[in-house]
Amino acid sequence: MTDKVKYHPWVVAVSNWLLVMAIFSVSRLFYYLTNMSSYPDVSAVHLLEMLYGGIRFDMTALLYLNSVYLLMELLPLRLRGNATYQQVARWFYWIPNGLAIVVNCVDMVYMQFTGRRTTITFFTEFQNDNNLAHIFFTSALQYWYVTLFGLAMLALMVLLTRRTIQTDDSRRPAMYYCSESALFALSVYFIVIGIRGGFGAFTRPITLSNALQYTNHPNETNIVLNTPFALMRSSEGQVFPTLHYFEEEELEKIMSPVHQPSVHCALQKKNIVVFILESFSKEYIGYFNHDLDDGTYRGYTPFLDSLAAHSLTFPLTLATGRKSIDAMPSVLSSIPMIISPYILTPYSTDNVASLASYLGEKGWQTGFFHGAPNGSMGFLAYSRSCGFEAYYGKDEYHNDADYDGYWAIWDEEFMQFFGRTMSTMKEPFMTALFTATSHHPFQVPERYEGVFPEGTHPLHRCIGYSDHALRRFFEFARTQPWYENTLFVITADHTNVLTHPEYTTDKGRYEVPIIFFDPQMDESLRTRKRNFPVAQTDILPSVLEYIGYDEPYFAFGQDAIMSDKKVPYVVNYNNPVYQIFSDSLMMQFDGKEVIGLYNFQEDRLLQHNILSRINEPAPQEMLRYLQATIQQYVTRIKENRLTIE
């Protein structure tokens, strides 16, 4: 009787499923332990709460993944004890669960750079990159402790897998099939409940946002969730919700992305040069962090430090997303990343404008530069759709000797190419360069080994190298006749590895530099005090207003140079919540209700949620603007109204 129970298909199936459930829980704990610095406020009690909450998401993912295996074990068939049948069943168990363990381990590393669990958009984002296998194996060696952990979990799964063994079953056929069918039906019922995420008439299939109920901060959802769940839920299609916070007339009064120019001078035929620096977190720049490490912090960007001292900068500058693919629409088209990267949405064929299209219509020559193989990251496609005349990538560089072997042409060489090419263009011109070297696997040219500060992470020396490449670019640019008549805009695509507690918060993870440098900028304009926050989406309207653009334009941001922002807010998306910033407050909104309110001036580490103040006038005004922004974005992207109508 004992063997009949021990080796019964149902007992074996449940045992094997619980085994991978246990492996996923151990993986969740391992992820937290190797990334504790990113979660400084997590107590032991709260960690247990998140580990408990994660079981719900593991259950859903692993029931999906094991559906074929469970079906084979639970169907009321006597041949389930057959050795060949069991061998096939075990492969249906090992393969999907093995892949799940692998992607979960890979994301332990990748999440350090993206700040979120990987979703199905990853495969679209990198569909034109042919070097992922090389990068994967390099990462497996670099992050050897994650590789060893993954191999250990795979071995544990294989070694502890149980199988059904045929035992004497004296039950008559009628009794056998009736009892086994009842057990099968009961099992299917509980499997469906598990896939949905719980009991109750109003229980809906759980989604990524359900992880918020177990967290104190949105970034903690990375602990609660697992990557297979994130991939499966996102593969069901990214559908923007139907929103109706306000009637159309009221909506336009609160927030409208259609701007009428406030012409203050005749159109200036200035060259516009935009740098989007890969992974240049604001934390890395000493100029913005004089107070870090008790005033001893120097950062890794001596050139940017010197340039920023002679430029227009702002106290709080933010990215709208955490991926490279989020930045291009935000910086060049003033289209934020909300819910999903615009380039990867079903609406990516919408009509869009950009600095290139607005200025191109006025006679500017335009070009986009990215040293990776043409087509990488979808930048070539977007540059064309938003109005750039020319694209300059690795193909146009014509010298593979300067290829870094992973992503692109080294920054120093490609920036020199950038400068030389602009010297052949007719003025005025508008160009944008997206750099690449300051990226995993964090390599610098051999001639610079040991030259730049190592810092506390391998990325830091890459930041030093790219800063040196910028210095070399400006040394060349200053010798060119177009230099004095140029507005340089320097920002980053997103943040990356962060080491100071001030930058591991839901605010700090989005802080990137935004620098406007014009050799001819009026000193009073450059030094005027500005206390409002500025985002990547404010770059387009700021540039257009600065040069006296005299026609209506479309932007989710506002001018931050010529005037104090009419509405002093910045909006971004911290998956799975929306965030809005004023000069002192940060609000978090899950689409239905406000879940967080912080005064980051008084509480830099965002440890005190002052949600009790939500009904005060200032937070209520912020909430209305945030809701209006979300509604405008979702409505307009679905209706193809992202340009001047």
What pLDDT, on a 0 to 100 scale, did the predictor assign at position 76?
78
| pLDDT exceeds cutoff 80 at 207 | no
Those residues with Cβ within 8 angstroms of residue 368's Cβ, 6 or more apart along the chain or in another chain: 356, 379, 383, 388, 390, 391, 392, 431, 432, 434
CA–CA distances in Å: residue 211 to residues 45, 218, 607: 17, 9, 20
For residues 370 and 376, is the Cβ–Cβ distance under 8 A?
yes
CA 563 and chain centroid, separation: 31
Question: What architecture (CATH level 2) is domain 249-638?
Answer: 3-Layer(aba) Sandwich (3.40)
The helix or strand, by DSSP H or E, that contains position 346, with its residue range, turns out to be none
DSSP state of 292: G
| pLDDT exceeds cutoff 60 at 201 | no
Residue 256 dihedral angles phi and psi, to the nearest 5°: -130, 130
How many other CB atoms are found less than 10 A from the CB of residue 73?
Answer: 28
DSSP string computed for 64-75: HHTHHHHHHHHS
Q: Which residue has the higher pLDDT, 226 or 205?
A: 226
What pLDDT, on a 0 to 100 scale, did the predictor assign at position 99?
94
Over range 23-49, report the average pLDDT.
90
Q: In whole angstroms, what is the distance from residue 516 CA to residue 555 CA?
A: 18
For residues 414 and 408, is the Cβ–Cβ distance under 8 A?
yes
Over range 297-309, report the average pLDDT.
96
Residue 515, amino acid: I
The helix or strand, by DSSP H or E, that contains position 554, with its residue range, turns out to be strand 553-554
What pLDDT, on a 0 to 100 scale, did the predictor assign at position 143?
86
Share above pLDDT 70 across residues of the chain, in percent, rounded to a whole number = 91
What pLDDT, on a 0 to 100 scale, did the predictor assign at position 197?
64
pLDDT tier for residue 202 given thresholds of 50, 70 and 90: very low
Q: In whole angstroms, what is the distance from residue 106 CA to residue 584 CA?
A: 37
pLDDT in tens, 100-112: 999 999 888 877 7
pTM: 0.78
DSSP state of 635: H
Q: In whole angstroms, what is the distance from residue 287 CA to residue 498 CA?
A: 17
Q: Which residue has the higher pLDDT, 64 or 23?
A: 23
What pLDDT, on a 0 to 100 scale, did the predictor assign at position 534?
97
CA–CA distances in Å: residue 638 to residues 251, 258, 606: 17, 17, 35
First to last CA, the chain: 77
Give the tokens for residue 370.
Answer: 């990215």
Residue 192, amino acid: V
Closest CA to 460 of 477, 478, 442: 442
| HSE-CB of 127 using CA atoms within 13 angstroms | 11
Q: Mean pLDDT check: name the lowest of 79-88, 194-203, 522-531, 583-592.
A: 194-203
165-173's contacts with Cβ under 8 Å and 24+ in sequence apart are: 165/3, 165/7, 165/81, 166/81, 166/82, 167/3, 167/4, 167/7, 167/81, 168/4, 169/4, 169/78
pLDDT in tens, 595-618: 999 999 999 999 999 999 999 999
What pLDDT, on a 0 to 100 scale, did the predictor assign at position 203?
45
pLDDT tier for residue 133 given thresholds of 50, 70 and 90: confident
Q: In whole angstroms, what is the distance from residue 372 CA to residue 379 CA?
A: 10
CA–CA distances in Å: residue 240 to residues 144, 234, 340, 345, 378: 39, 12, 9, 9, 22
Q: In whole angstroms, what is the distance from residue 161 CA to residue 158 CA?
A: 5
What pLDDT, on a 0 to 100 scale, did the predictor assign at position 177?
64
Residue 268, amino acid: Q
Over range 41-58, report the average pLDDT.
90
For residues 578 and 338, is the Cβ–Cβ distance under 8 A?
yes
Mean pLDDT of the chain: 88
The helix or strand, by DSSP H or E, that contains position 274, with its residue range, turns out to be strand 271-277
Those residues with Cβ within 8 angstroms of residue 308's Cβ, 6 or more apart along the chain or in another chain: 285, 287, 288, 513, 515
At residue 141, the 3 state secondary structure works out as helix
| pLDDT exceeds cutoff 80 at 315 | yes
| pLDDT exceeds cutoff 70 at 514 | yes
pLDDT in tens, 225-280: 889 888 887 665 555 777 889 999 999 999 999 999 887 778 999 999 999 999 99
pLDDT tier for residue 633 given thresholds of 50, 70 and 90: very high
At residue 277, the 3 state secondary structure works out as strand
3-state secondary structure 582-612: CCCEEEEECCCCEEEEEECCCCCCCCCCCHH
Q: In whole angstroms, what is the distance from residue 438 CA to residue 599 CA?
A: 32
Q: In whole angstroms, what is the distance from residue 304 CA to residue 307 CA?
A: 5
What pLDDT, on a 0 to 100 scale, did the predictor assign at position 579?
97
pLDDT tier for residue 120 given thresholds of 50, 70 and 90: low
What pLDDT, on a 0 to 100 scale, did the predictor assign at position 123?
60
Q: In whole angstroms, what is the distance from residue 464 CA to residue 87 CA?
A: 55
Query: Residue 41 burial by CB count (10 A; 0-12/13-18/19+): exposed, middle or buried?
Result: middle
| pLDDT exceeds cutoff 90 at 506 | yes
How many other CB atoms are found less than 10 A from the CB of residue 600?
Answer: 21
Give residue 640's region: left, alpha or beta (phi > 0; psi -120 to 50): left
Domain extents in the chain: 2-235, 249-638
